[in-house]
Amino acid sequence: MASDKAKAPMKRTVIVLDHSSKFLTLSKQHIDFDGGGKKSKSKGSSSTSSPVFKSSWTCSIEAAVEYCRIVYDIFPNEYLVKVVVSDDDAHVMNSWSHEQQCVPQLLKSFAGLGSPKEDNGENCSMIYGLTSAVQCLYEPPPQNSKTHQTTSSVDTGRIICITNLKNEGHVHALVACATDILEQQNSGVGSSDSVQPIKNVDLIFIHVPLSGDSGKFTEKAPKGSSLLSITISSHKASQLVSKLSIMAQKHFHLKSTTVTGIPMKEEQHSGSSANYDVEIVHSSQVHMEQAVANVFCGDETAPGKKESPGTSKDTVHLKWCTPKTTSAPELQACIGCYRITPVEVNSRPTACLISFLLQGRQVMLEQPKKSGGKLVSHILASHGGDIFIHCLATYRTPMEDPPSISEGCGGRVTDYRINDFGEFMKANRLAPCSWNKKKGKSPLDKGLARLERCTRYWPMVIGETLLCNMMQWKLILFICCTFKQLLKPLPTLMAKETVTENDVLECKRVIYRVQAMESRNDPLPVSMTGIRGKGPKREEQYRQIWAELETYLEAASRTSKMHEKVLECLRGTSPSSSTTDSPRRETPTDELEKNNHSKLSEVSLSWQEIDRYQSMTEREKTDFNRGDTNNEHFFKRSIASAVTEQAHKRLRTDNQHGMNKQTGRGPGSSLLSMWNSKMNAIAASRHEEFAGRLQSTGNKAELYSNPMDSGSNSSGRGTPVEEWL
């Protein structure tokens, strides 16, 4: 069964019926004249009319017509079925043309053929019909009269033979005949464009045991060939209709659905009503969504399969839902539409349901759940005289309002970065682009690589990040009288695939800018939305900024070596790097003086020194002017300030270099160097300079004035100076 479902349905099928006198025998199925069966007889009726039974030939015709009707109703002009009758010759009931692929054509042909003759038993043979069936598979495909298009040729087919098999020798003879004809037809095809050689034929024998047969027929199929796959089954004549209906469902991947609870008035009692069931057949894709839900949801939402009298075993039960009285049609979220056909065409409930649908009405079908709830999952409606079953989406559809983001897997979280994600989507939109394989990576691969680079560090919630919030805020820096964004170039440059030296320098300037803000104890331009109370302290904010910035740059450093340089600069600049194992690198001021691109740190320190001087008391200013920086009041003020320890060390280093190097007001002097020169001059005028330093150059006294002279000390012990050198 699983292997048959995996195969695609065959385009052509030929049914061969045995028209010999053997099929004149009566079956155990009687003809119901009043349409009600045995239950229609009243209990008080004295009628004792004898039943009229059908012949085996009548059962064979009904089974073949039922097989064709299912295929014609569900797959019009898609799959073709042909019927051949075999007696002393082969009689073709219809052709492959679309005009004759219908049930009325078959009934008309069967009526003209008549019943089997009683005296033709010796001349009848299934070989004639089997030969004609194989030849029908090699006929050219029909041409559609409406579109004038020819159906594509096929290389597979199916033959169903309904006959009475005598013994295993009879089966081997029929199989050998079919094999010989296939080989002859394949060798005679040649290089024809319209006909292709047949690669495989599915040959099915249905043995109908008759009343005169003795013993049980074995259903063991003989070994076939590469051209034939043989199947043998045995069924009574009264079971042919139901068995061929199930066979059609198996061959064309169909499923059965039973509509339950259809309210109908009784014929005999018009004042009362009863509920009836109608079984329909359709494509297996109708219940595909429920089958998937059954696999992943533990059969919680899948419709139930029940066995009820009068229906097939493998059927899905959907309950009738009373239609609304409103005349305006309601738009439904339909995800599939498939043709249907009823199983019992002549039953009264089926006729009432079909006529109700052909009037333009719709029937809603409810899907029962094990939990007790109900869900409208399908709709029956008529379009152009054909009846369809529509599959409705049982999940959210684009036609509904978009769901709230709080309904997702994250729960009721209200501070998602929705606006940032919208800007991210706008920045990563794709556009049509021509591509040549010689150019390298395709645009799709480049787009996926960019998404991977941009999402290596992407916090989902606003409260979990300060770095991403700063990317959206502007900070006014009083430098060159222009407005600059605090981190503006950094995210754009780090998202690039290749980074130049100038880009690396721009990223380093952003890092130095944050370090300068920390040294001045400036507030960070972050939003306080969603934060209760006063919020975290500035020291905690800067600690979080440095940690996030290191995480972000560490994720981006995997792109190239140039990206890694930015990370190395950060680890040598951030205050938190002193506690880590990463090596200490140059300070921001040294890096800026080396590249000669910016004087931002020097200006920041100068303004910082002026602010500190303005905040001093009169006593501290007096001590500072005298050069007495060792005063305890001055150090209390220094310790109480928010300047970091690293900035103090750098400031003292700059003061020492300023005392030794910068002594005048040159074009490259800063305010800090001029102030240091003034303080050094005041301090130098308050004491007498050391004599050795006055006689030396550069204010440095030499320890050994004549190191090259030879000799020893007065005690006679020691090592000559030449040996030291």
Residue 111 has pLDDT above 80, yes or no: yes
> How confident is the model at residue 119, as a pLDDT?
77
Residue 32 has pLDDT above 80, yes or no: no
Identify the three-state secondary structure at position 326: coil
> How confident is the model at residue 101, as a pLDDT?
93
Residue at 506: amino acid letter: E
Average pLDDT for 496-523 = 87
Looking at per-residue confidence, does 425 or 410 come out higher?
425
Phi, psi angles (nearest 5°) of residue 340: -130, 165
Counting residues of the chain whose pLDDT is more than 90, the rounded percentage is 22
Q: Where does the pLDDT of residue 464 fall: very low under 50, low under 70, confident under 90, or very high at 90 and above? A: confident
Residue 651 has pLDDT above 70, yes or no: no
Contact 113, 91 (CB under 8 A): yes
Q: How remote is the C-alpha of 49 from its chain's centroid?
A: 67
> How confident is the model at residue 466, as a pLDDT?
74
DSSP code for 156:
E
The H-or-E segment that residue 658 falls in is helix 645-661
Identify the three-state secondary structure at position 320: strand
Nearest to 361 by CA among 323, 330, 393: 323
Q: Where does the pLDDT of residue 296 fall: very low under 50, low under 70, confident under 90, or very high at 90 and above? A: low
Cα 507 to Cα 552: distance, rounded to the nearest angstrom: 13
Residue 362 has pLDDT above 70, yes or no: yes
Average pLDDT for 376-401 = 81
Q: What is the DSSP string of 132-147?
A: HHHHHHTSPPPB-TTT
Residue 627 has pLDDT above 70, yes or no: no
Q: Where does the pLDDT of residue 403 fall: very low under 50, low under 70, confident under 90, or very high at 90 and above? A: low
Q: Where does the pLDDT of residue 161 fall: very low under 50, low under 70, confident under 90, or very high at 90 and above? A: very high
Beta bridge partners of 276: 262
> How confident is the model at residue 203, as a pLDDT?
93
> How confident is the model at residue 212, as a pLDDT?
66
Looking at per-residue confidence, does 695 or 55 come out higher?
55
Q: Where does the pLDDT of residue 232 fall: very low under 50, low under 70, confident under 90, or very high at 90 and above? A: very high
> How confident is the model at residue 482, as a pLDDT?
31
Beta-carbon contacts of 87 under 8 Å, excluding residues fewer than 6 positions away, are: 19, 20, 116, 117, 120, 123, 124, 128
Cα 598 to Cα 613: distance, rounded to the nearest angstrom: 25
Nearest to 98 by CA among 114, 116, 117, 82: 82
Cα 551 to Cα 207: distance, rounded to the nearest angstrom: 77
Residue 425 has pLDDT above 80, yes or no: yes
Contact 591, 508 (CB under 8 A): yes
| Burial call 60-79: b when 16+ CB within 10 Å, e when fewer | bbbbbbbbbbbbbbbbeeeb
DSSP code for 369:
-
Residue 545 has pLDDT above 90, yes or no: no
Cα 487 to Cα 515: distance, rounded to the nearest angstrom: 12
Cα 11 to Cα 237: distance, rounded to the nearest angstrom: 27
> How confident is the model at residue 487, as a pLDDT?
75
425 exposed, middle or buried (CB, 10 Å; 0-12, 13-18, 19+)? exposed
Cα 80 to Cα 68: distance, rounded to the nearest angstrom: 9
Q: Where does the pLDDT of residue 255 fall: very low under 50, low under 70, confident under 90, or very high at 90 and above? A: very high
Q: Where does the pLDDT of residue 270 fall: very low under 50, low under 70, confident under 90, or very high at 90 and above? A: low
| Burial call 394-410: b when 16+ CB within 10 Å, e when fewer | beeeeeeeeeeeeeeee
Looking at per-residue confidence, does 685 or 361 come out higher?
361
Average pLDDT for 84-111 = 93
Residue 55 has pLDDT above 80, yes or no: yes
Q: Where does the pLDDT of residue 714 fall: very low under 50, low under 70, confident under 90, or very high at 90 and above? A: very low
Residue 456 has pLDDT above 60, yes or no: yes
Range with the largest mean pLDDT of 97-106, 412-421, 521-530, 689-698: 97-106
The H-or-E segment that residue 127 falls in is helix 126-137
Beta strands (DSSP E) in 51-166 are: 53-55, 80-86, 90-92, 156-163
Beta strands (DSSP E) in 192-329 are: 200-207, 228-234, 254-265, 273-283, 315-321
Looking at per-residue confidence, does 570 or 643 come out higher?
570
Lowest mean pLDDT among 85-89, 149-153, 327-331, 713-717: 713-717
Lowest mean pLDDT among 67-71, 141-145, 322-326, 476-480: 476-480
| Burial call 149-176: b when 16+ CB within 10 Å, e when fewer | eebeebebbbbbbbbbbeeeeebeebbe
> How confident is the model at residue 463, as a pLDDT?
78
Lowest mean pLDDT among 363-367, 534-538, 670-674: 534-538
Residue 243 has pLDDT above 90, yes or no: yes
Helix pair 501-519, 588-595: axis angle to 10 deg: 140
Residue 384 has pLDDT above 50, yes or no: yes
> How confident is the model at residue 529, as a pLDDT?
53
- Can you read off the two tokens belonging to residue 80? 């073709």
Q: Dihedral through CA 100, CA 102, CA 105, CA 107, nearest 10?
A: 160
Residue 58 has pLDDT above 50, yes or no: yes
Lowest mean pLDDT among 65-79, 114-128, 132-146: 132-146
User: Average model confidence (pLDDT) for the chain?
Assistant: 75
> How confident is the model at residue 321, as a pLDDT?
85
Nearest to 501 by CA among 572, 420, 399, 569: 569
Average pLDDT for 45-52 = 63
Looking at per-residue confidence, does 68 or 517 come out higher?
68
> How confident is the model at residue 35, as a pLDDT?
52
Query: Which superfamily, per CATH, for 12-30+52-141+154-252?
Result: von Willebrand factor, type A domain (3.40.50.410)
Q: What is the DSSP string of 224-244?
A: --SSEEEEEEE--GGGHHHHH
Looking at per-residue confidence, does 488 or 520 come out higher?
520
> How confident is the model at residue 719, as a pLDDT?
47
Provide, for the chain, the percentages of residues in helix, strand and coil under a 3-state DSSP scheme, each rounded to the nearest 5. 40, 15, 40
Nearest to 588 by CA among 511, 503, 655, 484: 511
Q: Where does the pLDDT of residue 265 fall: very low under 50, low under 70, confident under 90, or very high at 90 and above? A: confident
Lowest mean pLDDT among 393-407, 577-591, 667-681, 703-717: 577-591
Task: For the beta carbon of residue 148, count every other beta carbon within 10 angstroms.
Answer: 7
Contact 99, 145 (CB under 8 A): yes
Contact 682, 625 (CB under 8 A): yes
* CA–CA distances in Å: residue 144 to residues 98, 149, 152, 551: 7, 5, 11, 67
> How confident is the model at residue 663, as a pLDDT?
44
Torsion 458-461-466-472 (CA) sign? positive
Counting residues of the chain whose pLDDT is more than 70, the rounded percentage is 64
> Tens digits of per-residue pLDDT, 590-600?
443 444 444 44
User: How many residues belong to the chain?
Assistant: 725
Residue 282 has pLDDT above 90, yes or no: yes
Contact 554, 567 (CB under 8 A): yes
Residue 93 has pLDDT above 90, yes or no: yes
Q: Which residue has the tokens 């944050």?
A: 514
Contact 124, 87 (CB under 8 A): yes
Q: Where does the pLDDT of residue 28 fall: very low under 50, low under 70, confident under 90, or very high at 90 and above? A: confident
Beta-carbon contacts of 457 under 8 Å, excluding residues fewer than 6 positions away, are: 551, 552, 555, 556
Cα 406 to Cα 414: distance, rounded to the nearest angstrom: 7
Full-model pTM: 0.57
Domain ranges of the chain: 12-30+52-141+154-252, 256-265+274-296+314-392, 413-431+440-529+536-573
Residue 654 has pLDDT above 60, yes or no: no
Residue 323 has pLDDT above 60, yes or no: yes
Cα 424 to Cα 455: distance, rounded to the nearest angstrom: 10
Residue 154 has pLDDT above 80, yes or no: no
> How confident is the model at residue 241, as a pLDDT?
93
* CA–CA distances in Å: residue 237 to residues 32, 316, 552: 17, 28, 79
Residue 194 has pLDDT above 70, yes or no: no
Q: Which residue has the tokens 């998404």?
A: 451
> How confident is the model at residue 51, as a pLDDT?
81
- Can you read off the two tokens belonging to residue 159? 């033959």
> How confident is the model at residue 390, as a pLDDT?
92
